[in-house]
């Protein structure tokens, strides 16, 4: 009935997630509240891990792209599910290490890692640093030389693949701030330089073509381009890159209009391409990584709010104001992302009332969704915004000094707090008196 399998309606007409009544959760923990269904997360991790067994004889590893939602409990789940981890900052690395995540299975990304972040990663014995540019390559080599270390690296390549998605979340084309371009010869020159350096060891190439992608074809094309490049490297230098990281980007369902392909279909099509290209170029089949973020946590999560003011402007629209907003979900303001909104305490009724959901921040653009149909709400009702597990908490801010909501993990009818609600004291804990 609602977008994702973990959602249902109970006898009271209340929306449930993971067998828990959302109205009860809102009462118990207060709102705004992020809720995640643990089983959905674990099952998705398992599906990816199994897919590697089926299509690569187990010679590959899915890395959870923790920028989608980074906290200790999520790192612990990823660890238990035998995933690797992708981090993009010292903070995400610190979170992973604090959760006891095995460092050798962590990849460190980013187009402008700082000197301190690089030192932190090297000192932590991190599995791989994904080098984005020549400045970084040279800085990293000199850091490792000083520490008398050899760091395994990957290099981020722009395969020149155009994925049909929003321009802010599209990254594989030549005009992107991420990585080395193939077309200009920049990538091969950088690879040749990396091979010569003494304190880095190039074992892997990486690409990531974008996010929320539904087509299989751009992933296949990217894999082929990357395999061809590994072939070129071998032909020009004799050097064999043995690992290939194909990034994340698998689409999820935000509304009933979205129709993502089963992840195993991508895996199968890409595996066929990788195997065929390995044979064509006389290369060993590389160890393959993927980096799903959104697809691990996105559909597993919802956000609960309490309805405050309902303001009807005759012949214009009805604004329904909630107790959160762009501070906990900036995606509509940033990319006009579509969401499904449900009046959670009246989830058994037909949604037939068109509203615009407004946040409480001091910005006219602070909207969660425009012209969406829900059951007519009154102040005090509980609203649920669906598929908010990815890029909501992780992009949240304290704009207007609004404390960040807590995260509750639900599982077969039980609930557990995994991130506490911020308090007003938390908000001023770094403030110093004049």
Ligand X SMILES: *Cc1c(COP(=O)(O)O)cnc(C)c1O
Query: Catalytic residue numbers?
Result: 362
Beta carbon nearer to ligand X, 208 or 346: 208
Residues found near ligand X in the complex (CB under 6 A): 65, 67-68, 86, 109, 208, 211, 247-250, 291-295
- State in angstroms the smallest separation of the CB of 417 from ligand X: 25
Q: Closest distance between ligand X and the C-beta of residue 292, in Å?
A: 5
Residue ranges of alpha helices (H) inside 1-131 are 22-29, 38-56, 72-80, 90-98, 115-123
Q: How far apart are CA 405 and CA 422, in angstroms?
A: 7
Alpha-carbon gap, residue 46 to 272, rounded angstroms: 21
Sign of CA dihedral 48, 63, 216, 299: positive
Nearest-approach distance from CB 399 to ligand X, in angstroms: 23
Residue 161 or residue 355: which is nearer to ligand X going by CB? 161
Q: How many CA atoms lie within 13 A of 213 on its CB side?
A: 29
Q: Which is nearer to ligand X, 20 or 65 (CB)?
A: 65
Cβ proximity to ligand X, 62 vs 359, nearer residue: 62
Cα separation of 379 and 170, whole Å? 39
According to DSSP, the β-strands at 84-87 and 60-65 are parallel
Least Å from the CB of residue 64 to ligand X: 9
Nearer to ligand X, 29 or 289 (CB): 289
Contact yes or no for 164/215 (Cβ under 8 A) = yes
Write down the least CB distance from residue 164 to ligand X, Å: 14
Q: What is the dihedral of CA 364, 369, 370, 376, to 10 degrees?
A: -110
- The residue (of 310 and 395) whose beta carbon lies closer to ligand X is 395
Q: Looking at beta carbons only, is 231 or 247 nearer to ligand X?
A: 247
Helix, strand, coil share (%) of the chain residues, nearest 5: 35, 25, 40
Residue 139 belongs to what H/E stretch?
Answer: helix 134-146
Least CB distance to ligand X at residue 179 (A): 9
Q: Is the dihedral of CA 84, 90, 96, 102 positive or negative?
A: positive
Cα gap 399→236, rounded to integer Å? 52
Taken in order 153, 42, 33, 303, the sign of the CA dihedral is positive
Q: How far is the CB of 44 from ligand X (least distance, A)?
A: 11
Q: Which is nearer to ligand X, 259 or 364 (CB)?
A: 259
Q: Which residue in 158, 272, 241, 164 sits closest to 207, CA to CA?
A: 158
- C-alpha distances (whole Å) from 160 to each of 168, 210, 226 are 16, 11, 10
- Interior/surface letters 65-96, b for 16+ CB within 10 angstroms, e for the rest: bbbbbbbebbbebbbebebbbbbbbbebbebb
């Amino acid at each position: 009935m609602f977008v994702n399998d973990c959602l249902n309606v109970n006898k009271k007409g209340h929306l449930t997630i993971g067998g828990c009544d959302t109205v009860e959760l809102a009462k118990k923990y207060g709102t705004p509240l992020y809720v995640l269904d643990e089983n959905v997360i674990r099952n998705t991790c398992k599906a990816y891990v199994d897919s590697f067994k089926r299509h690569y004889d187990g010679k590959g590893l899915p890395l959870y792209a923790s920028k989608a939602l980074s906290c200790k409990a999520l790192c612990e789940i990823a660890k238990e599910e035998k995933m690797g981890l992708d981090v993009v900052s010292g903070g995400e690395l610190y979170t992973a290490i604090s959760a006891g995540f095995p460092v050798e299975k962590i990849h460190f990304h980013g187009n402008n890692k700082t000197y301190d972040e690089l030192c932190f990663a090297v000192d932590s014995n991190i599995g791989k640093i994904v080098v984005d540019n020549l400045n970084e390559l040279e800085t990293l080599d000199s850091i490792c030389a000083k520490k008398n270390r050899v760091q395994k690296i990957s290099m981020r390549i722009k395969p020149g693949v155009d994925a049909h998605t929003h321009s802010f979340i599209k990254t594989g084309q030549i005009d992107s701030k991420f990585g080395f371009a193939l077309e200009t010869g920049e990538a091969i020159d950088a690879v040749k330089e990396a091979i010569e350096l003494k304190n880095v060891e190039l074992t892997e190439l990486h690409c990531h073509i974008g996010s929320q992608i539904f087509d299989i074809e751009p992933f296949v094309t990217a894999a082929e381009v990357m395999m061809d490049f590994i072939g070129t490297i071998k032909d020009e230098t004799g050097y064999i890159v043995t690992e290939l990281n194909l990034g994340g980007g698998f689409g999820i369902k935000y509304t009933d209009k979205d129709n993502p392909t089963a992840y195993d279909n991508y895996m199968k099509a890409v595996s066929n391409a990788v195997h065929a290209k390995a044979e064509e170029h006389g290369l060993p089949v590389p160890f393959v990584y993927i980096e799903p973020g959104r697809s691990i946590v996105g559909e597993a999560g919802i956000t609960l709010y309490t309805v405050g003011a309902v303001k009807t402007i005759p012949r214009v629209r009805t604004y329904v104001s909630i107790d959160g907003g762009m501070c906990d979900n900036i995606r509509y303001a940033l990319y006009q992302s579509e969401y499904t909104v449900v009046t959670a305490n009246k989830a058994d009724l037909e949604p037939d009332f068109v509203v615009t959901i407004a946040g409480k921040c001091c910005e006219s653009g602070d909207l969660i969704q425009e012209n969406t149909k829900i059951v007519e709400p009154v102040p005090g009702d509980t609203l649920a915004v669906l598929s908010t597990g990815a890029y909501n908490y992780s992009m949240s801010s304290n704009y207007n000094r609004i404390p960040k909501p807590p995260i509750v993990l639900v599982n077969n009818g039980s609930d557990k707090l995994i991130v506490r609600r911020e308090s007003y004291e938390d908000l001023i804990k770094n403030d110093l008196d004049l």
